[in-house]
Amino acid sequence: MILNFINGQYRQGRGGRSFSDMNPVDGSLIAQVSEATREDVDDAVNAARDALAGPWGALKLSQRCDLLYAVAAEIDRRAEDFVAAEVADTGKPRSLASHLDIPRGAANFRVFADAVRNVATETFTSHAPDGEPTLNYALRRPKGVVAVICPWNLPLLLMTWKVGPALACGNTVVVKPSEETPATAALLGEVMNSVGIPKGVYNVVHGFGPESAGEFLTTHPGVDAITFTGETRTGAAIIRASAAGIKPVSMELGGKNPAVVFDDADLDATIAGLTRSVFENSGQVCLGTERVYVQRRIFDAVVQRLASAAARLRPGRPEDPATTLGPLISAEHQRKVLDYFALAKAEGATAVCGGGVPDVSHELKAGAWVEPTVWTGVAHESRVAREEIFGPCCAVIPFETEAEALRMANDTPYGLAASVYTSDVARAHRFAGALRVGVVWVNSWFVRDLRTPFGGSGASGIGREGGVHSLEFYTELSNVCIKF
Ligand SMILES: NC(=O)c1ccc[n+]([C@@H]2O[C@H](COP(=O)([O-])OP(=O)(O)OC[C@H]3O[C@@H](n4cnc5c(N)ncnc54)[C@H](O)[C@@H]3O)[C@@H](O)[C@H]2O)c1
Ligand SMILES: O=C/C=C/C=C(\O)C(=O)O
């Protein structure tokens, strides 16, 4: 049984209810997960409040940062346990979990311990109307109890991307991991206890959204702030739920990210970048590419090379070193993606490769598999080119001029990420600056400096996190004016 973690202890939900954690590779049962009740969520929020008023709130900054570094070191020491848990929950290849998900789980604690250690606050000297000198200085204090609601695609990475800065800033947290991927959030409780994070600082409640732990948490009067990563429509529901309490929210939402390939691009680097941004994590990355705009002259070459790269991806068990493609997270998500495959066909698309379910071995047939897919013949205005699919697929669409490419790339309610491939440095800077997204990669993808601002606008979210930018959300600034 995967248990809730409240006030430093693992425990069953009071309602005695549980739900199944399924392995998306073969549809087998991994474990039952104990569902938290409203009372359990209340206990978790109260434990977080008590920790703030108790040992955690009394810690010096340097002690807090040293503890977060200890958390990172313990995640590294137990990397194998975290990889096994993440791989079981998601079905992603071991190589991906061990090189991306888990190392970032540790890095997300270190980067924010460093940020709070080194961040300055401001002071101003001036004079009052009566001519007497004044000194103004700013103070940062923790927001308090932060609700952290997480998605299933990069479970530990995205949860610690929020818990790291929240704790570094002196807050306490109640985490509600996705019902699809509860394991690593629960396991992190063992790390917190083993390094000496006081009880109540880090809490985990399992369940779903509406009328379950997610909603109980976002509507709880004892929660001071909500940080959410997930679908845009869920973000809207959480903002509505938070409105009554005027709670600050940080929203990392969906995307329909473009890649723009100019005809002077390095084709090898372009295909390598696109293969990752379209198919990595089976396309279940918010920053992933689902629209590829290619300048006409090299359109056919890019289509063929990307389709060949897709065809080389090998579905299989995570622990098989030959596996380069995992399943989607669930049968439900598989049905959603396959519905988009059918829609693409109905909208007149040509599947240059993929478009269905791969022929996997008998033992894997119950897994949530779809083929990596490259479409041509998709109109820029079509649903397949406008709606987030969140699978291993992309529409490749030709363009003639830079202006046309920019218009199409920006023609979306989202504003999260983009990638641009060109050898023309001036054009790279010009085009990147004109894209209305939060993150632009040039001749690359998902290369991350964790000190940089990260986040989206429009339907992709509210706020920026990363480095000192996270401190704006996880602290309250106040100003003190002294008149001499
Ligand atoms: N912008 C980013 O950084 C980023 C990162 C990863 C994923 N995402 C987005 O997340 C989505 C995939 O993740 P998902 O399917 O888990 O998202 P989701 O919105 O379905 O669920 C996310 C979390 O919210 C919870 N939840 C659902 N309804 C809720 C409610 N009413 N109140 C409180 N909690 C609720 C879920 O239980 C889950 O823990 C994609 O749209 C992807 O683009 C965005
Ligand atoms: O699926 C979305 C990935 C988000 C990644 C980050 O938030 C990050 O790299 O910090």
pLDDT of res. 296: 98
CA of 101 to the centre of ligand 2 (A): 10
pLDDT at 349: 97
Which ligand is nearest to the Cα of residue 438, counting in written order?
Answer: 1
Average pLDDT, the chain: 98
Question: Is the CB–ligand 1 distance for residue 101 below 6 Å?
Answer: no
Do 150 and 176 form a contact (C-beta atoms < 8 A)?
yes
Predicted pLDDT of residue 14: 98
Atom of ligand 1 nearest to the CA of 180: 16
- What pLDDT was estimated at residue 198? 98
Ligand nearest to the CA of 228: 1
Cβ(56) – ligand 2 distance below 6 Å = no
HSE, side-chain direction, 13 A CA sphere, residue 460: 26
Does the CB atom of residue 352 touch ligand 2 within 6 A? Answer: no
- The partner residues of 443 in beta bridges, in order of sequence, read none
CA–CA distance, 222 with 216 (Å, rounded to integer): 11
442 phi and psi, to 5 degrees?
Answer: -110, 125
What's the token pair of residue 242?
Answer: 């938070």
**pLDDT tens figures, 253-265:** 999 999 999 999 9
Three-state DSSP state, 17: coil
Please give the helix or strand (H or E) that residue 81 lies within, else none.
helix 79-90
CA distance 472 to 305: 44
State the pLDDT at residue 121.
93
| Rounded distance from Cα 189 to ligand 1 centre (Å) | 22
Tell me 198's DSSP state.
P
> Strand 4-6 and strand 475-483: pairing?
unpaired
Q: What is the pLDDT of residue 355?
A: 98
Rg (CA), the chain: 23
Residue 74 pLDDT: 99
- Average pLDDT for 101-105: 98
Residue corresponding to tokens 């790390």: 191
Closest CA to 183 of 330, 32, 296: 32
**Dist. CA 267 → ligand 1 center (Å):** 35
| 4 neighbors 213 (Cβ within 8 angstroms) | no
Q: How far apart are CA 228 and CA 241, in angstroms?
A: 12
65 annotated active-site: no
What mean pLDDT do residues 127-154 have? 98
**What was the pLDDT predicted at 192?**
99
The residue from 86, 179, 252, 280 that is catalytic is: 252
- Cα separation, 293 vs 402, in Å, equals 10
CA distances from 187 to 192, 203, 244 (A): 9, 11, 33
Atom of ligand 1 nearest to the CA of 333: 15
251 CA to middle of ligand 1, Å?
10
Residues 169, 439, 255, CA angle at the centre, nearest 5°? 100
Q: Given pLDDT bands bounded at 50, 70 and 90, which one contains residue 339? A: very high
Please give the structure tokens belonging to residue 183: 């394991």
Per-residue pLDDT tens digits for 44-65: 999 999 999 999 999 999 999 9
Residues in the chain: 484
Tell me the pLDDT band of 455, cut-offs 50, 70 and 90. very high
pLDDT in tens, 426-436: 999 999 999 99
Counting ligands in written order, the one closest to the CA of 287 is: 2
Banded model confidence at residue 387, pLDDT cuts 50, 70, 90:
very high
347 assigned to active site = no
Q: Which two tokens stand for residue 290?
A: 């689902």
The residues near 437 (Cβ < 8 Å, ≥ 6 apart) are 257, 415, 416, 417, 418, 456, 457, 460
Instruction: Enumerate the H helices of 228-367 as residue ranges.
Output: 232-243, 267-279, 299-311, 331-346
pLDDT of res. 385: 98
Whether the model clears a pTM of 0.95, i.e. scores above it, the answer is yes
Q: Mean per-residue pLDDT for 390-400?
A: 98
Q: How confident is the model at residue 110 (pLDDT cuts 50, 70, 90)?
A: very high
CB of 157 closer than 6 A to ligand 1? no
pLDDT at 434: 98
ipTM: 0.95
Q: How far is the CA of 432 from the centre of ligand 2 (A)?
A: 19
